[in-house]
Amino acid sequence: MIDQTPPTAARRGPGRGLFIAVEGGDGAGKSTQARRLGDWLEGQGYAVLHTREPGGTELGRTLRELVLHGEDGSVSERAEALIFAADRAHHVATVVRPALERGEVVITDRYLDSSVAYQGAARALGHDEVRELSMWATERLVPDLTVLLDVSAQQGRVRRGQVHDRLEREADDFHDRVRQGFLDLAAREPERYLVLDGHGDADRLAEQVRERVSLLLGEAS
């Protein structure tokens, strides 16, 4: 018998959610692609939770203010890494895991890779140390898929425009290290990543993301 049930969250069932992270440097176009993917999935009948780091919870919004909007030098490097990890711990425990338990598709604008790229690689605090900190914080919750939108430091700067937070103000060589940090992570686990050239046409990028997510949903159902 052919199962005619539409591929809704209900069909995915409790504990069968899907976790997707969208990553990339500042100005890579993550938010646009995350929103477009979410809209498409909702149109397909999935329950979608759209969230972000830092600042996906009330505590996170306070931490976000502290870490992004202070003066230069207001947060030491290790404190910065710990604040992002604290934001992530609370976000996963109170928002992401409960939604996955309900069988929803969770799309987060930034996750663990951002810490590895910004604090681990660009601030040189250590790739493995920073990753392990977040693994501890999240009780080892790794996305089913990480979409990496890869852009050059120069292009990111142009796209960000005039408003800059504490990290966006860093020089291009910082953003070059961020970019390389993301690419290194993707190279370690190519099957769990979709790496796209963020300079490309937004419609085409959205289509490529949809294709990959469709495959994952097919496998998971």
Interface with ligand TYD (CB under 6 A):
26, 31, 53-54, 68, 84, 109-110, 114-115, 118-119, 165, 167-168
- Least Å distance, CB 84 to ligand TYD, is 4
Using Cβ positions, the residue closest to ligand TYD within the complex turns out to be 118
Q: Closer to ligand TYD by CB, 102 or 109: give it.
A: 109
Q: Closer to ligand TYD by CB, 109 or 144: give it.
A: 109
- Least Å distance, CB 174 to ligand TYD, is 10
Alpha carbon distance, N-terminus to C-terminus of the chain: 16
Q: Structure tokens of 10?
A: 């209900």
Q: Closer to ligand TYD by CB, 33 or 119: give it.
A: 119
- Least Å distance, CB 221 to ligand TYD, is 30
Q: Closer to ligand TYD by CB, 66 or 216: give it.
A: 66
Q: CA 209, 215, 219 angle in degrees (round to 5)?
A: 145
Q: Closer to ligand TYD by CB, 46 or 84: give it.
A: 84
- Least Å distance, CB 67 to ligand TYD, is 7
SS3 for the chain, per residue? CCCCCCCCHHHHCCCCCEEEEEEECCCCCHHHHHHHHHHHHHHCCCCEEEEECCCCCHHHHHHHHHHHCCCCCCCCHHHHHHHHHHHHHHHHHHHHHHHHHCCCEEEEECCHHHHHHHHHHHCCCCHHHHHHHHHHHCCCCCCCEEEEEECCHHHHHHHHCCCCCCCCCCCHHHHHHHHHHHHHHHHHCHHHEEEEECCCCHHHHHHHHHHHHHHHHHHHC
- Least Å distance, CB 1 to ligand TYD, is 46
Q: Closer to ligand TYD by CB, 33 or 115: give it.
A: 115
- Least Å distance, CB 131 to ligand TYD, is 11
